[in-house]
Amino acid sequence: MTNSLSENIKNVIEFLSIEGVTGYEKNIALSVKDKLIKYGIPEDYIFFDEANKKIPLFTETGNLIVKLPGTKPGKRKLFSTHLDTVSLCKGAEPIINNGKIIAKNDTALGADNRGGVSCLVNLLKFLFQNNVEYTPLTCLFTVREESGLWGARNVDKKDLGSPEIGFNTDGSSPYEIITSAVGAERWSVEIIGKGSHAGVAPNKGISSSIVASIALSKTYEDGWFGLVEKNGLKGTSNIGYYGDQDGNCAGSSTNQVTDYVKINGESRSMDQDFISEITNQYEKNFIAASEMVKNSKNEKAQIKFKKSLDYFPFKLDDNLEVIKIAKESANKIGINSKTVAVNGGLDANWLIRNGIPTITFGNGHYNPHSLDEYLDIKEYEDSCELAISIATQ
């Protein structure tokens, strides 16, 4: 690293070096807070909410919120980004390489979403150190985005000062404005069969593995696995985990009929009803398969199927003010941005559900959640300029 690096790039490198995997955001949140105080933002504008007390998983801290009164009257704008990274980023050491920031060793980088964190810190610094006009503004740094959008899901709109429009930064290109995203549901099934000696009394057992296999092959055959297209509707589904209760393989030895299998999966679509329809197919097929696999006493496996909503889909109307502001602000700095749809969940899914129309723009991070992750420095800097342009619009 050389002294010629801008303070903004030094900051992003600093934030990338601070570990803060999902649920463990305290250190990164405190270093953001320290940095903001150093830049002259009054300490009483900065606080933590109590979202972590509402999240059903251990979470070190609440969302970090910075609420500025603005220098001119007008609608309050929200800027948001997430503090956490995926666990593959543990121990990441950022280095600069050819216009990019990459991880030095075998870890992901965590530019998803420290690029966004740094982008908003840079925005706040700019607003405080320059004599510019801007309407009331809130910055929200969420926790536990990667493990289910929990921070955004549990934030209280009042804590944000009831902003009327939102700008979330996450994802790759700062030249694209995300205006629609799929919704998703997670599900799990437990198949409780019956163990028996596979050589001596196989007929007394009920194989959970066989029940699972029949159900999944039926799901696959009928086109409900992977990319799902039915009656003009589109969605996706996946099996992400197939094993026992504790993260081990299903079954224990070849001479025993498998008495237990647990499978976790998910369904996604732009259409909320279609998400449920996909999940329901899996449930139906597990139940039907359990009817087919019976032991000599005519007993069958017990199916315990659970589903939970991850996030709702959204599609913002093209005429919304938030999209116009984003596009005009981009134009002003020479970016001709286009609107796009994505197949993943964003904090925006919950912010919109919470009544804040929110677009999302990228901050230059690519190949997130992988060892090939990198931050494109030029694109990152453009995202910083875009944030400033929106805030001062």
Q: How far is the CB of 370 from Zn ion (least distance, A)?
A: 13
Residue corresponding to tokens 């799929």? 182
Q: How far is the CB of 24 from Zn ion (least distance, A)?
A: 16
Residue corresponding to tokens 């799901």? 219
Q: How far is the CB of 86 from Zn ion (least distance, A)?
A: 9
Please give the Cα distance from 164 to 358 (Å, whole number).
9
Return the SS3 of 124.
helix
* Residue 21 vs 288, nearer CB to Zn ion: 21
* Residue 279 vs 363, nearer CB to Zn ion: 363
Return the SS3 of 382.
helix
In the chain the beta strands, taken as DSSP E runs, fall at 46-48, 64-68, 77-82, 94-97, 100-103, 137-142, 165-169, 176-181, 183-192, 226-230, 233-243, 260-269, 302-311, 314-315, 338-342, 358-361, 365-366, 374-376
Site track for Zn ion across 167-196, x = CB under 5 A: ---x--------------------------
* Residue 145 vs 159, nearer CB to Zn ion: 145
Count residues contacting Zn ion (CB under 5 A)?
Answer: 3
Q: How far is the CB of 8 from Zn ion (least distance, A)?
A: 20
* Residue 31 vs 172, nearer CB to Zn ion: 172
Please give the Cα distance from 61 to 139 (Å, whole number).
16
Residue 22 in contact with Zn ion, rule: CB under 5 A: no
26-38 and 111-129 helices, crossing angle to 10°:
20
Q: How far is the CB of 11 from Zn ion (least distance, A)?
A: 18
Q: How far is the CB of 173 from Zn ion (least distance, A)?
A: 14
* Residue 57 vs 201, nearer CB to Zn ion: 57
* Residue 152 vs 322, nearer CB to Zn ion: 152
Site track for Zn ion across 109-148, x = CB under 5 A: ---xx-----------------------------------
CA neighbor of 219 nearest in space, from 197, 242, 202, 203: 242
Site track for Zn ion across 193-212, x = CB under 5 A: --------------------
Please give the Cα distance from 147 to 89 (Å, whole number).
14
Residues that bind Zn ion (CB under 5 A): 112-113, 170
